[in-house]
Structure 1
Amino acid sequence: MEVETITTDTASYSVHGNPPEMTKSHHKKSRNSLFKMPKYIREILAEMVGTYLLVMIGQAAIANYKLNRNSKVGVDHFAVAFTFGIGAMSGIAASMPISGSHLNPAVSLAFALSGRLSMCKVPHYLLGQYIGALLASFTVFVAYYEGIEAYDHGNRIAYGGEWFTINQTRMAEIASGDIFATFPAPWITVTSALIDQIIATFALVFCVLAVTDKRAKLPEYLHPFMLGMVICGVVVAFGLQCGAALNPARDLSPRLFLLIGGYGFDAFRPTESLYWAVAGIIGPHIGAIIAAWSYGLLLWDDKTNEDQHE
C-alpha cells in the first residue's frame, strides 16, 4: 500500500512515523542564535566574571583568617596573597578567550596606552571590572554574614585605626571592613601610600605586559599561572603598608559596598579621607602609566606594536 507523505518547509515525513530529529546544523544554528550577543557585551561579562572570581576568592580568604579568633597567626598574609593568586588564575582562565582577562582598570589603561587595546573599549572593560568586584563583595558578605556578626557584634566598623575604643574594646579589634577593602597601616601618610601603590602597581603591570607580549612566545595556557604568581609575589612584597590595593576595581567597589552595606562613610575616612583616592585609584593608575611608558621605551618597537594592536 502506498504511504501518503506530508511535505513541509523543513522536512518530509510519513503520516505513520515520527518527524526526523533536528539536524546537527539546525541545532547548532539555534544554539548560536540563543547565545548570540554583541561582542562588547561579551567583553563586559567576561571582565565581570573574571574580576568577580579574583576578588571573591581573595576576600573569602581574608574573611576565613580574620574571623577565626582561634587562629594563632591572625591573618596569614602569605596565604591570603597566594589565594589572591589562585583567584587571579581562575579569573584569567575564565575570561581570557573573550576579553583578554585584564581584571584591573590599571591593566586596561596600560594596554590601551601601549596599543594593545582600543581606547574605545576601556570604558566597558572598566564597567565589567567594577561590577564584578561589587558583586564579589556582596557574595562574601552574605557567605560570612554570621561570622561577621559574631566578630563585630553588629558594630559595623570599617577601620578602627589604632587607638579608638568602643566599650573599652579597641575598634581595630572588631573592625571588619578590611575583609573587603584595603586600609593603611597606622603610621602611613598620604605621600607614603601614593609612593607605595605607584611602585607596586608599576611592578605588577610591567610584568603583565612582559608575560603577554607576543614576542615572548609564551603559550597562552601558561598565562593564568604566571600572572597569578606575579600577583602573589607583589601582594607579599607590598602588602604591609596599604594592603597591596594594586587594582582600583578591587578597592573602590568593595569600599562602595561598605558604604551601602551598613559601614557608612567610615570606609572613606582613613588618612584625612584621602587614602581611598590616593592609594586606591590615583597611585595604581600612575603606576600603570609609568609601566606602559617604560615598557614601550625599553622593550617595544613599531612592528610589534602594529602586530599586537587590536
Structure 2
Amino acid sequence: MAHYMGELFGTMFLIYLGDGCVANISLNKSKAQGAGWLTVNIGFALAVGIPVYIFGPLSGAHFNPAVTLGLAMIGKFPWEQVPMYIACQMIGCFIGAALVWIQFYPHWGVTEDKATKLGVFCTGPAIRNVGANFISEFLGTFVLMFAILGVGNTKAADPAFGALIVALIICVLGTGIGGTTGYALNPARDLGPRIAHAVLPIAGKGDSDWGYSWIPVVAPICGGIAAALAFSMMF
C-alpha cells in the first residue's frame, strides 16, 4: 500500500500548498493579498516539485490521473493499479483542499466575492468558450505529459533533477499559457477541490460551477493520453 499512500499524501501536499498560494493572494485580510499571478505560478510549481521529490521514489509521483492513464496507455504503468492510483489522487486532493479551508478559516467570512472563493479551490475560464477552453487544457496537458516523459527518458541519476524540471514545467506553463483557464492540467487537482468546495461549510460560498467542471477533467485526460502516444511513437 506504500505506493498508494505516496499518491494520496503527495496530492494532499500539492493541493494544500498550491491552493494555499491562491488563497494567500486572493482572500481578504491575508497578508499576501494581491501578490499576483507570478506568485501563484511559482508557488504552484514548488507545490508540485517538492512532493515529486519526496514521493517519487515511493509511487512514481504521478499525482494526476492524466499522467497515470497516459503511462498505462503506453505500457509504462500496470492497468490493474490505475483505479487505486486515481482514487488516492482524488482523496488526497480533497483532503488538501479541506486543509486550505481550515488554514484560512477566518478569511472566508470576510471575503465577499463568491468567485474568488471558488477560484481558491478549482479553475475557471477567463473567457467562457467551450471549444477554446477545452483546447487550452488539452494543449497544456499535452506539453506537461510530453515533458514529464522526456525527463523520465534522460539518464540523470539524481531524482532532484526530475523534480526541479517538473516544477519548472509547471511554472512556465502557468506564466506562458495559464491565463486562459487557470491551467488545471490535472483532473484530480480540479475535481477533488471542487467537490470539497461543494460539501464544506465555507462561509458565503456560491455554486461550484459544475457546468464547466467537465472540461478540466476530460481535456487533460485526452491531452495526457495523446502526448504519451506521441512520445512513444517518437522515442
Select which of 278, 284, 297 maps to 2:220: 284
Which AA in structure 2 matches 1:130? M
| Counterpart residue type for residue 255 of structure 1 | R
CA distance in 1, matches of 2:29, 2:102: 20
2:146 maps to 206
Query: Which residue in 2 is equivalent to 1:30?
Result: none
Other-structure match for 2:120: 179
Matches within 5 A, 1:246-265: 246-262=185-201
Matched, 1:217 2:155: yes
- For residues 233 and 19 of structure 2, the distance between their equivalents in structure 1, rounded to whole angstroms, comes to 36
Q: Measured at CA, do residues 254 and 63 of structure 1 come closer, stay the same or move farther in structure 2, by a change above 3 Å?
A: same
Q: Does the 8 Å CA contact 2:24/2:31 hold for their aligned counterparts?
A: no
Aligned-partner Cα distance in 2 for 1:236–1:268: 25
2:46 to 61, 74, 86: 86
**Aligned residue number for residue 92 of structure 2:** 132
Aligned to 2:213, the other structure's residue is in SS state helix
Q: Is the 8 Å Cα contact of residues 49 and 94 (structure 1) preserved in structure 2?
A: no
Moved over 4 A (4+): 68-73
2:208 to 244, 267, 284: 267
Structure 1: tracts of 5 or more residues without a match? 1-40, 160-174, 300-310
> Separation in 2 of the partners of 1:238 and 1:266?
26
Using the size of structure 2 for normalisation, the TM-score is 0.92
TM-score using structure 1 length: 0.71
Structure 1 segment 51-70 matched on structure 2, within 5 A? 51-68=11-28
Q: Once the two structures are aligned, what percentage of the paired residues are identical? A: 28
Q: Does 1:188 align with 2:125?
A: no
Alignment of structure 1 residues 211-250 onto 2, 5 Å: 211-213=151-153, 216-219=154-157, 220-250=159-189
| CA RMSD, Structure 1 to Structure 2 (Å) | 1.9
**Cα displacement (A) at 1:254:** 0.6
Instruction: Tell me by how many angstroms 1:69 deviates.
Output: 6.0
Cα distance in 2 between the residues matched to 1:190 and 1:262: 30
In structure 2, what is the equivalent of residue 109 of structure 1? 69
Q: Which moved more, 1:131-140 or 1:221-230?
A: 221-230
- Figure out how many residues of one structure are paired with residues of the other and give that number: 232
Q: For 2:132 and 2:29, how far apart are their aligned partners in 1?
A: 31
Q: What's 1:47 paired with?
A: 7
User: Matches of 1:82 and 1:198 in 2, distance apart?
Assistant: 22
Larger radius of gyration: 1
Question: Secondary structure of the residue that 2:178 maps to in structure 1?
Answer: helix
| Cα separation, 2, equivalents of 1:103 and 1:72 | 27
Distance 1:114 1:72 in 2: 43
